[in-house]
A and B are shown apart, each in its own frame.
Chain A
Amino acid sequence: NAGVTQTPKFQVLKTGQSMTLQCAQDMNHEYMSWYRQDPGMGLRLIHYSVGAGITDQGEVPNGYNVSRSTTEDFPLRLLSAAPSQTSVYFCASSYQRLSAYEQYFGPGTRLTVT
């Protein structure tokens, strides 16, 4: 079991470039989420999905898109990178609703936008 995997581990973008952060899980979890973590801010929810074909916005969705075409994959797209999007991005999955089930996190992607 690989758990939750994320690629790439590190990425440097120029302002205005777009890219997709990949996330996959092999635990057949229904719930998947994307967070960003900035110093002193804690993790903030960007987007989440409660199942294939269903996504919703979290606390800080602007500048990001998601889709969930399969149970396993939940990619995060940065449409036009900005320096404010420099952060560590974590993908997470959970068997079902987060109030009752543990969230498993991927190792993170460290993104720098110059």
Chain B
Amino acid sequence: RKEVEQDPGPFNVPEGATVAFNCTYSNSASQSFFWYRQDCRKEPKLLMSVYSSGNEDGRFTAQLNRASQYISLLIRDSKLSDSATYLCVVNMDNAGNMLTFGGGTRLMVKP
């Protein structure tokens, strides 16, 4: 079993739609969680951290469910520019020195 698992997609949605991705992680002791965005053939960039209480940044909402060991990303009012791969990232080691990446979920927003 992979330590961080994501549905690879692609998720094909029309502009304006709401779309949600989930990511499951294997280590119940994990403390830090992130969503990174990666455009085609580019480097990953931090989209948002995921806090225990959930957090929102404009059209993006991230949630953490420790009991079921998953995090989620909700995108409202999808834009064409949201088309990218979304990487779920979990800190698995106690020292905070290493991050484990999921394989990514590809989103394609259509006009």
List chain A positions with a Cβ less than 8 A from chain B: 31, 35, 40-45, 48, 50, 56, 58-59, 90, 97-100, 102-103, 105-108
**B97 engages A43 (CB within 8 Å):** no
Specify which chain B residues have a CB less than 8 angstroms from the CB of A41 in the assembled complex. 103
Stretch from B41-49, B60-68, B73-81 that touches the partner: B41-49
Closest residue of A by beta carbon distance from B44:
A105
Instruction: Kindly state the separation between the CA atoms of A102 and B32 in the bound complex, as whole angstroms.
Output: 11
**B91 engages A99 (CB within 8 Å):** yes
Specify which chain B residues have a CB less than 8 angstroms from the CB of A44 in the assembled complex. 101
Closest residue of B by beta carbon distance from A88:
B41
**A40 engages B103 (CB within 8 Å):** yes
**B97 engages A48 (CB within 8 Å):** yes
Specify which chain B residues have a CB less than 8 angstroms from the CB of A42 in the assembled complex. 4, 87, 101-104
Closest residue of A by beta carbon distance from B104:
A42
Specify which chain B residues have a CB less than 8 angstroms from the CB of A40 in the assembled complex. 8, 103
Interface residues on B, range: 20 to 34
**A90 engages B32 (CB within 8 Å):** no
**A99 engages B103 (CB within 8 Å):** no
**Which residue of B45, B95, B96, B101 contacts A43 across the interface (Cβ within 8 Å)?**
B101
Enumerate B65-111 residues with CB–CB distance to A below 8 Å: 87, 91, 95-104
Which 7 pairs from chain A and chain B are nearest by CB?
A99-B96, A97-B96, A105-B43, A99-B32, A42-B101, A99-B91, A43-B101
**A98 engages B91 (CB within 8 Å):** yes
**A31 engages B103 (CB within 8 Å):** no
**B43 engages A106 (CB within 8 Å):** yes
Closest residue of B by beta carbon distance from A90:
B43
Specify which chain B residues have a CB less than 8 angstroms from the CB of A107 in the assembled complex. 42-43
Given A43-B87, A100-B32 in contact, is the A50-B97 Cβ separation under 8 Å? yes
Instruction: Kindly state the separation between the CA atoms of A98 and B45 in the bound complex, as whole angstroms.
Output: 14
B22 CB-CB contact with A under 8 Å: no
